[in-house]
Chains A and B, each alone.
Chain A
Amino acid sequence: MLTGGFIVVASFAYVGLLFAIAAYGDKRADAGRSLIANPYIYALSLAVYCTSWTFYGSVGRAASGGMGFLAIYIGPTLMAALWWFLLLKMIRISKANRITSIADFVASRYGKSQLLGGLVTIIAVIGIVPYIALQLKAISTSFNIILQYPSVAMPGKSGAQLFIGDNTFYIAMLLAAFTILFGTRHLDATERHEGLVAAIAFESVVKLVAFIAVGLFVTYGMYNGFADLFQRANDNPRLHALMAVGGDAGSYTSWATLTLLSMFAILFLPRQFQVAVVENVNERHLNKAIWLFPLYLLAINIFVLPIALGGLLHFPDGGVDADTFVLTLPIAQQQAWLALLVFIGGLSAATGMVIVETIALSTMVCNDLVMPVLLRTPGLRFAENRDLSRWLLGIRRGAIIGILLLGYLYFYLAGEAYALVSIGLISFSAVAQFAPAIIGGVFWKGGTRLGAIYGLAAGFSVWLYTLLLPSFAKSGWLPITFLSQGAWGIDLLKPQQLFGLQGLDEISHCLFWSLFVNGGLYVALSLLRRPDAAEHTQATLFVDASKQSRVSGSRFWRGSASVNDLLALLGRFLGPERAREALAAYAQQRGAAALEALPADANTVHHTESLLTGAIGSASARVMIASVVDEEPLGIGEVMHIIDEASQVLAHSRQLEQQSRELEAATYQGTPECQPASARTGSTQG
């Protein structure tokens, strides 16, 4: 029954269903009755965190490392408790400044720096490539295995040639096509994709149902429940070790490292930023997500260890790769429909990740890497182009194809040497490099551009040297002596025992050194030089984002402009019609009779810049606005003055609030003399 043709048809039917859901979601959004405006969809869309890594890889990890795999899900649970502080703040900042990607977030925080935006983009793209390779590996392996139904056979080492003749290449290109269709049908100034989010939430349901179905089948169909399964495993000395965190199955240090790593990943992975921050409809949805999302993680993990044990007991000779147990156990039991459900579930997990991740990355590549270069290359006269909106879409589509090609190349070069989870951890470690610049950036006004640039660059270099290059060495694409003797044969430079540091696993080792130099340089260089005016402005906007009387960005601007210039500029990126609509809506909001009556003051310029930021990123928007507006830069003294003024107003209003509350309390007491408590105690003392 499960012929190749049938499986391909089923896969396409499933993807077709996803498109139908996305189209319906978009239609509802246009009609103003959003499908995704509820906390349950929001929480489910966050579960895009669970990819093939979770679906296939966790079982493989559990089969060799026991309970250690769970740290990757405990971390996000802990971070969810901190979302109240961190994620809420990131959402507010991003909404107020129309930030649409993590690169833009960092660039914007440190004075709208194009250099920093580009750096974050490069780190994110290179860092995520292994993660995309992981998904490709999972899809291609599961496809090759289910093709063998009803026999269980591992696909041999693929002797396929690069590109043509390799299934995985076609899978990568199909995924690119889906992503382009899903994510770049039209250009939206806010980069929100309602239909896509609906489809992702649906995928989260499918992968959870499929995984729990296998779990129930293995635990209760093949064995007599948890107790029976654990009893049999316990009798087997080799499996007995898997019931522990420490000991043979990995150390407590690795456990703590993975917890920390996944805490960063849940916030800073580009796709998590996309669904949690950019696609957030209402910040109140965060309340439910704080506990619903961890609950999802718990549910999808209950059966991981039982499936791993069941697989190890059922295939005792080790001929079956543990990364495939989820699929091979149903096949071995001749459960065709269950096997198909698992395959579709795995497809859900992989496609959800690839689609959202590449959309997020393509926005970054376009806004923070390609556009700044095009706009700045004088010979191109690109900035004078009349309609750039089509260019924007084209660049994004190109970026999507490019990123998937890189993923495929990594799979081809290094994919075979590693298990699924190990590949993913390489990417997590790269993304963790954003932690100092972002967490420091939203809580500490003193962090500067210089510190962020050098910290990120140094941390990323250490990551390249201690994790990425070794992964090529292990696959034979670099001489293995690089690993065993260090670069140029220098012992202290051994990539995974840098400066002689031993006793840590490779991930902990990389994380320690990279965060050490990253965080160290960030703090040290920030303390060395005072931030300039632009940095100070942005630092205030970010750090004080949750305060009631918001310090508006337009207060930090002085100059002159004309509404027509602004309209023309906006029209080149959004298309003339959309630009007119957007500005007219703003004019109405400000009470101007018509678009022409709109005053070209600081507020209007600021609003135009934020509209433009949504389309091309904050750094490029800054440059474009500066090109049509005569600006007088503010000095640091003036900026400080404005900030002082604002904080004085704030302190004053707090004082008033406090006084009125005291007064109220005194009135409630019903004492004959209705005096504030402080006045009363004062009089008795006097």
Chain B
Amino acid sequence: MTPTPSSPGDQRGQRLAALFLLGVLLFNYPLLQLFARDGTVLGVPLLYCYVFCAWAALIGLMALVVERRNPAE
């Protein structure tokens, strides 16, 4: 299927590209630095907790994008 601007496949691609950009921001310098300080969440260091939570959330969003049934399909 040729991806035209309105086709469901292309919509999915755009969403995934946006998630990629989000991921690049989430896992790089300024944001990581924000969490690189003392403090714990339920006994787990802040940065460790942040990285894994953000990672899990990103995967969850990716799953949502590719698995969601598109009514147009």
A230 to B58 Cα, complex, angstroms: 25
Given contacts A230-B43, A252-B28, contact A81 B20 (CB under 8 A): yes
Are B3's CB and A546's CB within 8 A?
yes
**How many residues of chain B are within 8 Å of chain A by beta carbon?**
36
Which one of A244, A298, A548 lies within 8 Å of B55 (CB-CB)? Answer: A298
A302: Cβ under 8 A from any B Cβ: yes
Q: Which residue of A lies closest to B30 (CB)?
A: A252
Which of A70-78, A438-446, A554-562, A564-572 is the interface stretch? Answer: A70-78
CB within 8 Å of B: which A58-79 residues: 67, 70-71, 74, 77-78
How far, in Å, is A288 (CB) from chain B's closest CB? 7
With A302-B52, A546-B3 known as contacts, the answer to whether A77 contacts B47 (CB < 8 A) is no
Are B27 and A547 within 8 A (Cβ)? no
In angstroms, Cα B23 to Cα A70, docked, is 14
Q: How far is the CA of A82 from the CA of B14 in the complex (A)?
A: 10
Taking CB atoms and an 8 Å cut-off, the chain A residues in 208-252 that contact chain B are 225-228, 230-231, 234, 243-247, 252
Q: Is A294 an interface residue (CB 8 A)?
A: yes
Contact assessment for B4 and A246 in the assembled complex, using a CB-CB cutoff below 8 Å = no
A231, B2: Cβ atoms closer than 8 Å: no
Dominant secondary structure at the B interface = helix
- Assess whether A81 is in contact with B62, with CB atoms less than 8 Å apart: yes
Cβ of A255 within 8 Å of any chain B Cβ, yes or no, is yes
Q: Is the CB of B27 within 8 A of A67?
A: no
Q: A85 interface residue, CB < 8 Å from B?
A: yes
Given A77-B55, A298-B56, A546-B3, residue A287 in contact with residue B43 (CB < 8 A): no
Query: Does A630 belong to the interface (CB within 8 Å)?
Result: no
Question: In the complex, what distance in Å separates the CA atom of A521 from the CA atom of B49?
Answer: 43
Out of B2, B36, B43, B51, which one reaches A226, CB within 8 Å?
A: B43
Q: Are A78 and B47 in contact (CB under 8 A)?
A: no
- Please tell me the number of chain A residues within 8 Å of chain B, measured between CB atoms: 43
Contact indicator B55/A547 (Cβ below 8 Å): no
**Contact check: which of B3, B32, B42, B58 meets A77 at CB < 8 Å?**
B58
Known: A243-B48, A252-B33. A259 touches B67 (CB 8 A): no
In the complex, the answer to whether A259 meets B27 with C-beta atoms within 8 Å is yes
CB contacts between A and B, total, < 8 Å: 108
- Chain B residues with CB under 8 Å of A228's CB are 43
Q: Interface readout for A301-315 with B: 1 if CB under 8 Å, 0 if not?
A: 010010000000000
- Across-interface contacts of A593 in B (CB, < 8 A): none
Q: Does A418 belong to the interface (CB within 8 Å)? A: no
Partner of B51, one of A70, A81, A290, A650: A70
Measured in the bound complex, the distance between the Cα atoms of B14 and A81 in whole Å is 10
Interface residue ranges of B41-71 to A (CB < 8 Å): 42-45, 47-48, 51-52, 55-56, 58-60, 62-63, 66-67
A252 near B29: Cβ-Cβ < 8 Å: yes
Bound-complex Cα distance A298 to B67 (A): 19
Q: What B residues does A650 contact at CB under 8 A? A: 2
Q: Which of B4, B28, B36 contacts A654, CB < 8 Å?
A: B4
**Complex contact B23–A244 (CB within 8 A):** no
Q: Which residues of A contact B12 (CB under 8 A)?
A: 84
* Docked CA distance A290–B64 (Å): 11
Interface string of B6-42 (1 = CB under 8 A from A): 0000001100110110011001110011001000101
Besides A85-B17, A252-B29, 17 new A-B residue pairs in contact (Cβ under 8 A), listed by A number:
A74-B23, A81-B19, A81-B23, A84-B13, A85-B13, A245-B47, A287-B66, A288-B66, A290-B63, A295-B59, A298-B52, A298-B59, A302-B52, A305-B48, A548-B1, A657-B4, A658-B4
Q: Enumerate chain A interface residues (CB-CB to B < 8 A).
A: 67, 70-71, 74, 77-78, 80-82, 84-85, 225-228, 230-231, 234, 243-247, 252, 255-256, 259, 287-288, 290-291, 294-295, 298, 302, 305, 546-548, 650, 654, 657-658
Q: List 6 A-B contacts (CB under 8 A).
A: A290-B16, A290-B63, A291-B59, A295-B59, A305-B48, A658-B4
Closest 9 CB pairs of A and B: A227-B43, A291-B63, A81-B20, A548-B2, A252-B29, A243-B45, A291-B62, A78-B23, A81-B16
